[in-house]
Amino acid sequence: MDDNLYDEFGNYIGPEIESDQESDAEEEDEELPDKPPEDEEESDGEEAAHASNGWLTASNDVDMDNQVVLAEDKKYYPTAEEVYGPGVETLVNDEDEQPLEQPIIKPVRNIKFEVGVKDSSTYVSSQFLVGLMSNPSLVRNVALVGHLQHGKTVFMDMLVEQTHHMPTFDINSEKHVRYTDTRIDEQERRISIKAVPMSLVLEDSNSKSYLCNIMDTPGHVNFSDEMTAALRLADGAVLIVDAAEGVMVNTERAIRHAIQEQLPIVVVINKVDRLITELKLPPKDAYHKLRHTIEVINNHISAVSSTAGNVKVIDPAAGNVCFAGATAGWSFTLQSFARLYLKLHGIPFEADKFATRLWGDMYYHPEDRTIKKKPPASGAERTFVQFVLEPLYKIYSQVIGEHKKSVEATLAEFGVTLPNSAYKLNVRPLLRMALSQVFGSASGFTDMLVKHIPSAKDAAARKVDHTYTGPKDSIVYQAMVDCDPAGPLMVNVTKLYPKSDCSSFDAFGRVISGKIMTGQSVKVLGEGYSPEDEEDMTVKEVTKLWVYQARYRLPVSMAPPGSWVLIEGVDASIMKTATLCNVNYNEEDIYIFRSLQFNTLPVVKTATEPLNPSELPKMVEGLRKISKSYPLAITKVEESGEHTILGTGELYLDSIMKDLRELYSEVEVKVADPVVSFCETVVESSSMKCFAETPNKKNKITMIAEPLEKGLAEDIENGIVSIDWNRKALGDFFKTKYDWDLLAARSIWAFGPDKQGPNILLDDTLPTEVDKGLLGCREGFYRSRVSVGCT
């Protein structure tokens, strides 16, 4: 072996030698014929076998037995084009694109927070109800208001039972259904939290049908914002008062709020049976108790009416007072009670004249069968005691005494006969059955609404004057005053109700003019809209319309003026209230309806944060929905970054937090200790001036606080005077009513807070001290930014 051909490690370094493989390949090439023989085509069975082995060939011309195919080049499945043909779009999603916290299959969200109803059949057809909607003269829009536990919801149960094929009183448990308490937490707490409307077809004493849109409002003072939203849509207020408790704090608040909204008031004195069964008052004392309650109501009305407007005096003889025992299912006015006497005895007398003599110091003289103001010589009780209370006491005493024969005899005097099975019932069901047959339906209540509450058409002018911010010489204003169905569409939205899955809301409002229809595109004007600034305006399509019936919804395709309607599809841009109008209306500028004016302020504040910081976006979205659901709730972010909620009280915040956790965010939320804000007032003029300077040292402001004249704060709150008046009108008002200096009156900058608060910001500078021209150019700034004043 030549050593020069190998290195010291034994590696070959000699001349290049042709490999055996190359020589073998050359020999094979030489042996191949010029034209290879034709191979037989691969059968279908062999192709299927290749496919079953886990891959498919791109071409049948290649011999796959000796072919080496890389793993990434293998084709395990046919393409979509090979399966479905050309023109198929294929989308490929990577595995890691979906967040880990989001499930692959989203679970069905099933939220149970409302009570439904299986049978919603009524004594009149839905077509008849919709037909009444088209005649605003036959529509009455009212709100039931009053103090907590005075019987508003149970009174609504009585009306529902008379219009629907369903009992609202469980004989076995002796509990009321509370039909308008639709939320589960309302049923558990036994109080109303949300204002819920119902449209009922009620008959008066002449068997004429009227459509009564009635809103059952909460009686708790914390939820007075719901009463505010209801009164904005109503044409009258039905004040419910407990006969035993009388006028309470929220009763006074309801009276004041109704008069501020310029609404007529009628009274239902409920739970009259408590005077009999609980207080055990003699009929004479019961009369004085009822009379005292009505006098207190009139005193409150006269006190508020002196500054807010004129309201009729409450008088049972005039027919604007209804006496009721809703738990026993009966109600009557003096007029309906007089007609009951006429029906029983067949005496030819005028029921209305007889009714006027059933109240007050009126006495029956049996000698000459007359009623006079002077009692007879033999002595007698007042006519209300003798003809109304004593028969009522007699029925209660006989039924509670459970003496069958005496009950039969007493009821026979009223022309009522009960089956034998009725006498086997307990006392409360027997009382309901007996008294409901004696007094019949609530025709007296309907008569009271028809006579003392204006129809939707008659009340339109007053409602528009009070709520519309636009000029009174426009086509839109005239159409709303006339309740014109052919005029431009105007809808005032004041409430938002959540859907069953709480993903969005349906808007509830009143059609003022025009007609709103499904599939119609409308402009949604928010509270910040004006013809000069159209930023707060969107265009939405109305997808569905309903007549809201508490526990069920009656779908309609169109809603005429004067009606209440629930609207789907327009809630996205609405925070509290809104105005809906036509999209293609360009004849003149459209103005909005005034925002709600609450008679309470959010005074309790608490901070919230999610237990898991990554769920902050969900909580923020839930807070936005809370602001939509609760009219007075305020949610905002403080400078420290805290998310705070402002409400009217502890129960209010408790309901908000329950909804936030369970309905709107479904995240666990931590809550800080609540903080109560305090307000101070001014009792005498400041002893020294308050001085402030801007950071650039070029602007200075000096302020002094003084108390306002007595009654001025109430005038501002009640809308008797407005900062929007021109300078001359504003000056004349203050000079005439409060003897202000004319120059000082014309120097008023703002009322505050929120434009109608009981504070005044006054420019008290002299032209020799400041440049009035420069000061005046900042007037708009001060109006919007400064809320300093004195009360």
* Tokens 């004392």 belong to residue: 285
Domain boundary among 435, 452, 469: 452
For residue 117, the model assigns a pLDDT of 81
647: domain CATH number is: 3.30.70.870
Q: What's the confidence (pLDDT) of residue 3?
A: 60
Query: Can you give the pLDDT at residue 778?
Result: 45
The pLDDT assigned to 92 comes to 66
Q: What is the mean pLDDT of the chain?
A: 86
What single-letter DSSP state applies at residue 468? B
| Segments forming the whole domain that contains residue 628 | 604-676
Last residue of a domain, one of 628, 645, 676: 676
Over residues 300-351, the pLDDT tens digits come to 999 888 655 667 899 999 999 999 999 999 999 999 999 998 888 877 788 8
629, 762: one domain:
no
Using an 8 Å Cβ cutoff, are 363 and 380 in contact? yes
Which of 585 and 213 is assigned the larger pLDDT?
A: 213
Query: CB of 165 within 8 A of CB of 119?
Result: yes
Structure confidence at residue 443 (pLDDT): 94
Spell out the residues 6+ positions from residue 523 whose beta carbon is closer than 8 angstroms to its own.
537, 538, 539, 580, 581, 582, 583, 590
Share of the chain above pLDDT 90, in %: 56
Q: For 556-587, what is each residue's pLDDT tens digit?
A: 999 999 999 999 999 999 999 999 999 988 88
Whether residues 715 and 618 share a domain: the answer is no
Q: What angle do CA 208, 211, 215 make, to 5 degrees?
A: 140
**Nearest Cα residue to 375 out of 385, 365, 366:** 365
CA 768 to chain centre: 54
Encoded tokens for 9: 């490690």
Q: Are residues 699 and 727 in the same domain?
A: yes
Residue 620 in this model has a pLDDT that exceeds 70: yes
pLDDT at 42: 45
Query: For the chain, what is the domain count?
Result: 5
431 and 493 in a common domain = no
- In this structure, are residues 395 and 410 in contact, taking their beta carbons and an 8 Å threshold? yes
The per-residue pLDDT for 264 is 94
Gap between the Cα atoms of 546 and 457, Å rounded: 21
| Residues 232, 467 contacting (CB under 8 angstroms) | yes
* Number of residues that make up the chain: 791
If asked whether residues 179 and 232 sit together in one domain, one would say yes
Task: Please check whether residues 575 and 611 belong to one and the same domain.
Answer: no
| Better-predicted residue by pLDDT, 532 or 82 | 532
Exposed e or buried b per residue across 179-217, where buried means at least 16 C-beta atoms within 10 angstroms of its C-beta: bbbbbeebeeeebbbbbbbbbbbbbbbeeebbbbbbbbb
Indicate the burial class of 86 (C-beta count within 10 angstroms; 0-12, 13-18, 19 or more).
Answer: exposed
Instruction: Tell me, yes or no, whether 211 and 328 share the same domain.
Output: yes
- pLDDT at residue 786 tops 60: no
Mean pLDDT value across residues 724-728? 82
pLDDT tens digits, 105-117: 777 777 888 888 8
With bands split at pLDDT 50, 70 and 90, how would you rate the model's confidence at 52?
very low
pLDDT of residue 303: 86
Task: Collapse the DSSP code of 340 into the 3-class scheme (helix H, G, I; strand E, B; otherwise coil) and give the result.
Answer: helix
| Count of C-beta atoms within a 10 Å radius of residue 133 | 24
Higher pLDDT, 789 or 488: 488
Domain CATH for 760: 3.30.230.10
- Residue 102 within a domain: no
Q: Are residues 353 and 205 in the same domain?
A: yes
Same domain, 422 and 488: no
Closest among 238, 258, 307 to 597, alpha carbons compared: 258
Same domain, 448 and 514: no
The average pLDDT across 697-705 equals: 84
- Provide the pLDDT confidence category of residue 18 given band limits of 50, 70 and 90: low
301 assigned to some structural domain: yes
Q: Say if 567 falls within a structural domain.
A: yes
Same domain? For 324 and 228 the reply is yes
| Model confidence at 39: pLDDT above 50 | no
DSSP three-state, residue 293: helix
Is pLDDT at 45 greater than 50 in this prediction?
Answer: no
CATH number at residue 180: 3.40.50.300
Residues 47 and 167 in one domain: no
Picking from 341, 340, 371, the residue whose alpha carbon sits closest to that of residue 356 is 371
pLDDT of the residue at 284 = 95
Q: Which of 69-73, 277-281, 536-540, 631-635 has the lowest mean pLDDT?
A: 69-73
